[in-house]
A = this chain, B = another copy of it.
Amino acid sequence: MGRALGFDRHALKHTPSVYACRQNAVVDSAEETDIARPPRPILNRDLIARTALALIDRHGAEGASMRRVAQKLNVNPTSLYNHVADRAAMIEDVRALVSARIDSAPLRESTWEEGLLEWARSYRLAFARHPRAIPLLMTTRASTPVLLAEYEDFAVAAEAAGWPTDDVLPLLTAFESFILGSVLDMSGPTVIFDPTGQEEQFPRFTAAYATLEDHDAADPIATRAFERGLAMLVSSARPPKVHSSRRSPSQKAR
Interface residues of A (CB under 8 A from B): 4, 60-62, 132, 134-135, 138-143, 145, 147-149, 151-152, 154-156, 159, 165-182, 184-185, 187-189, 191-198, 201-205, 207-209, 211-212, 214, 221-222, 224-229, 231-233, 235-237
Contact = CB atoms under 8 A, between A and B. Distances in A.
B226 A174 contact: yes
Stoichiometry (number of copies): 2
A170 B221 CA distance: 6
Given A155-B208, A193-B142, A195-B143, A228 B171 contact: yes
A184 B134 contact: yes
Nearest to A175: B229
Given A134-B135, A232-B232, 16 more contacts: A4-B201, A139-B184, A141-B189, A142-B193, A143-B193, A143-B194, A151-B202, A152-B205, A167-B228, A169-B209, A174-B229, A175-B229, A176-B185, A177-B182, A181-B181, A181-B184
A204 B152 contact: yes
Contact of A192 (B4, B138, B166): B138
B232 A174 contact: yes
B201 A145 contact: yes
Contacts of A159: 204
Given A169-B211, A201-B152, A204-B155, A181 B176 contact: yes
A248 to B, nearest CB: 22
Given A176-B185, A187-B139, A229-B233, A149 B202 contact: yes
A211 to B, nearest CB: 4
Top 6 A-B pairs, shortest CB-CB distance: A181-B181, A174-B229, A173-B225, A177-B181, A139-B188, A168-B208
